[in-house]
Amino acid sequence: MTTFDPWAYLRILDIQAFDTALDQIAHKLKNLPEIIEAEKLRAQFEQLKYREVAGITEVADRELDVRKAESDVDQVRMRLEKDSQLLNSGSISDSKQLTELQHEVDSLKRRQNLLEDEEISILQQLEDAQKNLDSIRVELARVTQELQKADELVTIRVANIESEREKIASERIAESKSVPEELLKLYEKVRTDNRGIGASRFSTGQCEGCRIQFSNADLNKFKNAADGELLRCEECRAILVKS
Ligand SMILES: [Zn+2]
């Protein structure tokens, strides 16, 4: 049978209260709605950055298409001018040659019309790609600003909670000096094995560690024990304290 100074034995409940508060703070930090909101915005931001890169590539590709289309149109236009000048110069008198040249001019005109239509459609595609990129950038600017605000809010919330944690942690350190080392070690071990509960009151009739209801015989045994006598839950081994 192990017995401690009764006053010191009671202090283990204070340590348990500090540790429970610290666990709750850790849980709160992990599940802060501000952090969840910031993470949501960060995911949106990453996705928009990715879409911006794709949008920039799309615009660059369409610009290449436009330059290619312009150069195709220019080439046909130049050939058409050359052939038209030749046709109108009167320097060709052979009628077969003239007919052939006229055919080529006609065919070049058709080709020019076709290429110019294509150029218009490609210019439209470039305009669409640019519009798409612009709208991505507007959205990106909005999300960037929101994310910055959200991160600032998280920093403030975390700092507040951290200072609360530090206050409790230092109170716990001060309080633990009143608890016999042997008892503290036992408490730490049980707490680690027992999802955060190392000590429990038995006066509530239930073990806070494993939620078992104590029998009347057990309760009587605990009540009749000497003050400061080490009592344990048979089920989860939590240290039991009368208070
Ligand atoms: Zn128990």
The Cα–Cα gap between 236 and 30 comes to 27
| CATH number of this structure's domain 1-30+180-243, picked from the four choices 1.20.120.160, 1.10.3720.10, 1.10.3210.10, 1.10.287.1490 | 1.10.287.1490
pLDDT of residue 1 exceeding 90: no
Report the 10 Å Cβ neighbour count for 183: 22
Average pLDDT (161-167) is: 97
34-91 pLDDT tens trace: 999 999 999 999 999 999 999 999 999 999 999 999 999 999 999 999 999 999 998 8
pLDDT of residue 243 exceeding 80: no
Instruction: Identify the band that residue 120 occupies on the pLDDT scale cut at 50, 70 and 90.
Output: very high
Structure confidence at residue 66 (pLDDT): 97
172 neighbors 18 (Cβ within 8 angstroms): yes
Same fold yes or no, 1-30+180-243 and 32-177: yes
pTM exceeds 0.85, yes or no: no
Measured in Å, residue 214 CA sits from the centre of ligand 1 at 9
Structure confidence at residue 93 (pLDDT): 87
pLDDT of residue 176 exceeding 90: yes
> What are the residue ranges spanned by the domains of the chain?
1-30+180-243, 32-177
Ranges assigned E (strand) in 26-167: none
Instruction: Identify the band that residue 92 occupies on the pLDDT scale cut at 50, 70 and 90.
Output: confident
Higher per-residue pLDDT: 98 or 243: 98
Measured in Å, residue 25 CA sits from the centre of ligand 1 at 24
Average pLDDT (144-171) is: 97
128-143 pLDDT tens trace: 999 999 999 999 999 9
Structure confidence at residue 90 (pLDDT): 87
Question: Please, which residues have CB less than 5 A from ligand 1, an ion?
Answer: 207, 209-210, 233, 235-236, 238
CA angle 139, 141, 142 (to 5 degrees): 65
The Cα–Cα gap between 70 and 123 comes to 10
Averaged pLDDT of the chain = 96
Measured in Å, residue 16 CA sits from the centre of ligand 1 at 14
The topology under which CATH files domain 32-177 is Helix Hairpins (1.10.287)
Radius of gyration, alpha carbons of the chain: 42
